[in-house]
Amino acid sequence: AQSVTQLGSHVSVSEGALVLLRCNYSSSVPPYLFWYVQYPNQGLQLLLKYTTGATLVKGINGFEAEFKKSETSFHLTKPSAHMSDAAEYFCAVTNTGGFKTIFGAGTRLFVKA
Amino acid sequence: DTEVTQTPKHLVMGMTNKKSLKCEQHMGHRAMYWYKQKAKKPPELMFVYSYEKLSINESVPSRFSPECPNSSLLNLHLHALQPEDSALYLCASSQDWTTRNGEAFFGQGTRLTVV
């Protein structure tokens, strides 16, 4: 069965600092991995996805993630945090059948001025 | 148009009321989903429709009744809910549930409060 684990329920960074949100996955088949962002009282917006091919994936708003099969990881990074990045971030994987998106517990990102 | 539109945005209902949540997409997607999200938790899958047929019911209580009138619309009928059903209800769609690389597009959600 597929699952994802997000390390750290809360991450706090200063504006302009590196953002690193950690995600490890478990999958019995080649995984399709996603990062979603959720602002307060909003739906989820896709930041980026990994399906096949290049392991470094670039997304919207300057975010990127690297798929590392040997480490079963898919960490999300951004070189310089902006106040508008403060939100909840969910790492996700689709299940074997493809119909279900399995979410991690989420990481709340705080950005300090 | 890459939007999934949900109405209403907010809903307060009594435990004896009947209400419906609506979801609409015009991206030609053939899979549509209902998720429930409690505060500070990730979304949990409730139902999946594929080609207008109910494909997955994640053991959801019968007080929640989904309906897919056509390929663009998805409804969730609510009846005799409990206060613990208060949550953000998210609708999503994807191109086709059999293509695993198709990401889900989410609506803004309906914030439901049961009193």
Q: pLDDT by residue for chain A (113 residues), tens digit each?
A: 788 999 999 999 999 999 999 999 998 777 889 999 999 888 899 999 998 888 999 999 999 999 999 999 999 999 999 999 999 999 999 876 667 788 999 999 999 99
Tens of pLDDT, residue by residue over A41-51, are 888 999 999 98
Beta bridge partners of residue A56, listed in sequence order: A66
Tell me whether A105 touches chain B (CB under 8 Å): yes
The low-confidence residues of chain B, meaning pLDDT below 70, are: 1-2, 97-102
> Measured between alpha carbons, how far is B108 from A38 in angstroms, rounded to an integer?
10
Q: What is the pLDDT of residue A96?
A: 65
Distances (CA, A) of B49 to A11, B6, B31, B67, B98: 36, 16, 5, 9, 12
* Total beta-carbon pairs less than 8 A apart between chain A and chain B: 60
Report how far residue A30's alpha carbon sits from residue B20's, in angstroms, rounded to the nearest whole number. 38
Whether B42 sits inside 8 A of A98 (CB atoms) is no
